[in-house]
Amino acid sequence: MIVHRAMLDVSRAVVHHVARSLRDERRRLGTPKGSRALTPFWQAVLILRWFRGEHDIPKLGRDHRVSRATAYRYIHEGINVLAAQAPDLHEALDRAHTDGLAYVILDGTLIGIDRCAEQRLSVKGELIDAWYSGKAHQHAGNLQALSAPDGLPLWVAEVEPGSVHDLTAARTHVLGALYAAAAHGLPTLADSGYDGAGIGVHTPIRQPEGNQILSPDNRTYNRLLRALRCLGERGFALLKGRWRTLQHVTVSPSRIGDIARAALVLTHFEHDYLPAIR
């Protein structure tokens, strides 16, 4: 057997932030000091290893000398504690107004999951596999998010099954608030998948039917819109690239929203986008 050490590629400041949050949660619950198998610091290390993509939870438990059940419990506790710190939609939009952002960017992504058999009725009244995305040809969860003009993610929604269209998911979770924000001078940019979203949500102008072509003004509008909106894809790249557990979730897909919000809090901390004291 060869023993070796591995390096966790997150800063000590991030570990201490997570550890402080876990310590505060233990105090809130009245957990007696020394009654846990791991200190808040080492629980934070275990949690961050999982967020960085180490999906083998039994192995993580062995590394930290805790049982498989304890490792699962510690990780889910960490997800809950971090997700609770994430801004809600109105807080995110209020801060965007306060920071003087010219617009926000709406985008969606699919988070791969293990096969999940759950049937639901489609809009045509047919039984379909709820978590199967015909667009991506895989089982996944649909996650909507808002980003700043520079691509920093600001807010993430609750997860929807992969069979749900982006526009449908946006109508459920975010469009109402975006209409109000647009009325106060904060428009939204989005891709063509959100065509028909409503006033204040700007999408590319579609190509006319037949052999017609867009006018020069409309082509210029589309080019400018795409040039601004494309940075919104950086938001999910930051979340999924840095916190690799979001590239393929192996726990219950219903947890994707909480995992994404927890990853959002970690991303905000690393980018010094700290919330005001509530």
β-sheet bridge partners, residue 129:
119
Give the rounded percent of residues in the chain with a pLDDT score beyond 70: 93
The 10s digit of each residue's pLDDT in 193-219 is: 999 999 999 999 988 887 788 888 999
Confidence band, pLDDT 50/70/90 cuts, at residue 277: very low
pLDDT of residue 5: 57
Per DSSP, 275 falls in state P
The 10s digit of each residue's pLDDT in 227-257 is: 999 887 888 999 999 999 999 998 889 999 9
Rounded to an integer, the average pLDDT of 257-277 is: 89
**120: pLDDT strictly greater than 70:** no
- How would you label 53-83 residue by residue, b for 16+ Cβ within 10 Å and e otherwise? ebeebeebbeebebeeebbbebbbbbbebbb
Contact 96, 275 (CB under 8 A): no
210 Rama sector, left if φ>0, alpha if ψ -120 to 50, beta otherwise: left
- How would you label 120-159 residue by residue, b for 16+ Cβ within 10 Å and e otherwise? eeeeeeeebbbbbbeeeeebbbbbbbbbbbebbbbbbbbb
